[in-house]
Amino acid sequence: MEKFVVKGLEEGLQGTVKISGSKNAVLPILAACLLTKECCEIRNVPPLSDVIHMTELLRELGAQVEFSEEQERIRVRAETIESVESEYETARKMRASFLVAGALLGRCGHARLSLPGGCQIGSRPVDLHLKGFQALGAKSRQEYGFVELTAKTLKGNSIYLDFPSVGATENIMLAAVLAKGCTVIENAAEEPEICDLADFLREMGADITGDGTDAITIIGGKELHGAVHEVIPDRIEAGTFMAAAAITGGNILLENIREEHLKPVIAKLAECNVRTETVPEGLRVSRKGRLHPIQLKTMPFPGFPTDMQAPFMSLMAVAKGTSVITETVFENRFIHAGELQRMGADIKIDSRSAVIEGVETLTGTKVKATDLRAGAALILSALAAKGETEISDIYHIERGYYKIDEKLRALGAEIERKDVP
Ligand code: UD1
């Protein structure tokens, strides 16, 4: 086990940071590699623990996987699928392992996967994924903690999602590209990661239109071939570094970003008194003067991302005045508030809302990362706190931030990784 020891900064972060490829884009893209016998090459892949777990799962299913972490490139060849099963250990490590369901169903007509279960931020069911598969003609049966999916042939259909779930939209797209005929997913998720998956599937030969809107049309049934794809930059990692510049009163340049993916975050930062400027090399983020309080509601894209909610709570904790957050995407995503309170933040939670009274300064202490984005919020708070903060359970953070300590040190942060005996 390791922990981060972070010293509060006297001066703001300065310098340049290169944003890695998107974790949430690469996971469904790796699942898509199961749809063809040919070799696929994925570039700009962040070597994160979630990505490594996905490559292990693809190997267990029979794919040959070559991961060059140095070159941030993965090659997958799924010439034959030897197993259609995933175990509880895999699902427990990474909920996104369920994304292989659609691809296995499309390619083999059969999948038997351990149900991912809930996690710190909510119950996270997969009912919308299953309803989608059933609409395409699959039968689903749940017993002993597994869901078994079978289909003689998949047939295109119209599917209306009760909620624009990112995972369900991706899984249905993965099944629908090999289903015969036309599938329309309505009330589909519009996140940039959906468009990146659609781009990859099109590069493999699929016929998909409407991604990035709430209605995606897929004409399925064509044989797919190998493809080479470069993953989009991680908008949540970018947003986290923007928040780091904001909370420390710094001035940093972000390279390898897509500004159009960051619009909701940029808009809220402007309300917080944080300046962003587009420059030829990327995006410059800076703050002078105290952070302003804001009202924020998390929403599916193009709304404010739930994954940026915890980092923004850190900003609000030291803003001048009262801020309010409403979390509409996950039912239990305020666990980080308790840890921030230990650092001196004044936060009251009432169901899905949090009221944050900004304080002058936070103070360092021992805290625990309870999930990925909660952990990022603790690092941000620690950078702006008086004294030293020890953050334990950092494996959560490393699921989604590649070399976050090295990247922050290069910007002037004092953050050390230490072994916990
Ligand atoms: C993905 C992201 C995660 C992000 C989330 C929302 C990945 C690997 N993870 O998660 O970082 O926070 O999108 O932007 O891409 N729901 C159901 N039934 C379902 C599926 C979802 O009720 O079958 C509910 C969930 O419990 C949750 C909401 O829908 O309350 C949103 O979940 P979803 O969009 O599916 O998130 P994920 O794909 O799991």
**Residue pLDDT tens, the chain, 421 long:** 899 999 999 999 999 999 999 999 999 999 999 999 999 999 999 999 999 999 999 999 999 999 999 999 999 999 999 999 998 888 888 889 999 999 999 999 999 999 886 567 777 889 999 999 999 999 999 998 899 999 999 999 999 999 999 999 999 999 999 999 999 999 999 999 999 999 999 999 999 999 999 999 999 999 999 999 999 999 999 999 999 999 999 999 999 999 999 999 999 999 999 999 999 999 999 998 999 999 999 999 999 999 999 999 999 999 999 999 999 999 889 999 999 999 999 999 999 999 999 999 999 999 999 999 999 999 999 999 999 999 999 999 999 999 999 999 999 999 999 998 8
Contact between residue 248 and residue 383 where contact means Cβ atoms under 8 Å apart: yes
90 neighbors 60 (Cβ within 8 angstroms): yes
Q: pLDDT value at position 119?
A: 67
Pocket perturbation via mutation, ligand 1, pick of 95, 161, 165 by most ligand atoms within 8 A of CB? 165
Q: Residue 157 has which token pair?
A: 């259909």
Is 248 touching ligand 1 by the criterion CB < 6 Å? no
Tally Cβ neighbours within 10 Å of residue 338: 15
- CA 220 to the chain's CA centroid: 27
119 part of the active site: yes
Closest ligand 1 atom to the C-alpha of 99? 8
131 lines ligand 1 (CB under 6 A): no
Catalytic, out of 119, 182, 195, 272 = 119
- Give, as one character, the DSSP assignment of residue 292: P
> CA–CA distance from 388 to each of 12, 245, 364 (Å)?
16, 19, 5
Strands 85-86 and 110-114: parallel
Kindly report the protein residue whose alpha carbon is nearest to atom 31 of ligand 1: 165
Q: Is 50 in the pocket of ligand 1 (CB under 6 A)?
A: no
Please tell me if the CB atom of residue 54 comes closer than 6 angstroms to any atom of ligand 1. Answer: no
Which pTM value belongs to this model?
A: 0.97
CB atoms within 10 A of CB 16: 14
Which tokens in the block code for residue 184?
């329309």
Q: Is the CB of 252 under 6 A from ligand 1?
A: no
Shortest-distance Cα residue to atom 13 of ligand 1: 166
Residue 224 alpha carbon to ligand 1 centre in Å: 27
Closest-CA residue, ligand 1 atom 22, reads 125
Q: How far apart are CA 410 and CA 412, in angstroms?
A: 6
Among protein residues, the one with the nearest Cα to ligand 1's atom 5 is: 166
Q: Which residue's CA is minimally distant from atom 28 of ligand 1?
A: 329
Amino acid identity of 282? G
Tell me whether the omega of the peptide bond preceding residue 28 falls within 30 degrees of 0, making it cis: no
Distance 195 CA to ligand 1 centre (A): 16
- Give the sign of the dihedral formed by CA 8, CA 10, CA 12, CA 15: negative
Atom of ligand 1 nearest to the CA of 170: 38
pLDDT on residue 124: 80
Predicted confidence at residue 265, as pLDDT, reads 98
Alpha helices in 9-117 (DSSP H): 23-32, 49-60, 88-93, 100-108
Query: Which among 121, 124, 126, 352 is the best mutation to test ligand 1's pocket, defined by most ligand atoms within 8 Å of the CB?
Result: 124
